[in-house]
Structure 1
Amino acid sequence: MKNSVNRVTLMGSLGKDPEITTFESGKKKASFSIATNDYYTNDKGERIESTEWHRAIAWGKDAEYVESHLRKGKRVILEGKLTTHSYEKGEQTHYVTEVRCNTLQVIASADTAKE
């Protein structure tokens, strides 16, 4: 695969306030989760909502933007790349997939537009 691309775009709502880590160097990292919703109709004709949760991280100026502008429930659109890492807990290896943000923007929802 000579010309492969790792790019993802998500639009959803934050599930909780972001976690901000400030390192000794002064560089910041923001970690947060985003919920995206999908809808389908089951074989009984009922509309079913399916929610997926995505972990996201932002560094540097993007982390500062997250710290000052994002809170639980805010709707955002982000573009980034998928990254995967693992860690050991006890005798088990856990794998984590995150979206590393390249661009991030708060978007107005129908509820916030009325305020």
Structure 2
Amino acid sequence: MTLNIVHLVGRAGSNPEIRYFDSGKILCKFNIAVNRRSKKEDQPDWFELEIWDKTAEIAANYVKKGSLVGIQGSLKIDTWNDRNSGDKRTKPLIRVNNLDLLGSKKDNDNYSNSGGGGDF
């Protein structure tokens, strides 16, 4: 049996970027910051999200920098060859299957207007 499920709750660190393809596919990417459960003031962990099709459109329309979101998806490792050096590069990202818009519009607006301070 294999299992690859990721659940995260965090705040969008950037506004979503959306791409439309000739095939009709839609891709949305943005990152989220997720705090660890610790008493220390650690820096958040950052995760890049990859969202496709209808869920991508929803993310592009409703998520803004600072929005609180919950996601469920799977870990994916992107692999490519560096153009300059030819070295193999890898980058982890989360392919999102389900996106939950958390918090109220007022909460997300207040967070964005305050400069993004406080806990993630």
TM-score normalised by L of structure 1:
0.84
Matched, 1:100 2:100: no
8 Å CA contact 1:79–1:101 kept in 2: the answer is yes
Distance (Å, rounded) in 2 between the aligned partners of 1:56 and 1:114: 22
1:41-89 Cα deviation digits (max 9, x unpaired): 5xxxxx3223100011110111111111111000000000011121122
1:61-100 paired onto structure 2 within 5 Å? 61-89=54-82, 90-91=84-85, 92-100=87-95
1:38 to partner: Cα distance? 2.0
8 Å CA contact 1:14–1:74 kept in 2: the answer is yes
**Structure 2 CA distance for partners of 1:75 and 1:51, relative to 1, 3 Å:** same
Percent identity (aligned): 28
Larger Rg, first or second structure (1 or 2): 1
TM-score normalised by L of structure 2:
0.80
Which structure shows the higher strand fraction?
Answer: 1
What is the count of residue pairs matched by the alignment?
107
1:54 counterpart residue number: 47
Q: Which aligned runs of 4 or more in structure 1 are off by greater than 4 angstroms?
A: none
Unmatched segments (≥5 aa) in structure 2: 111-120
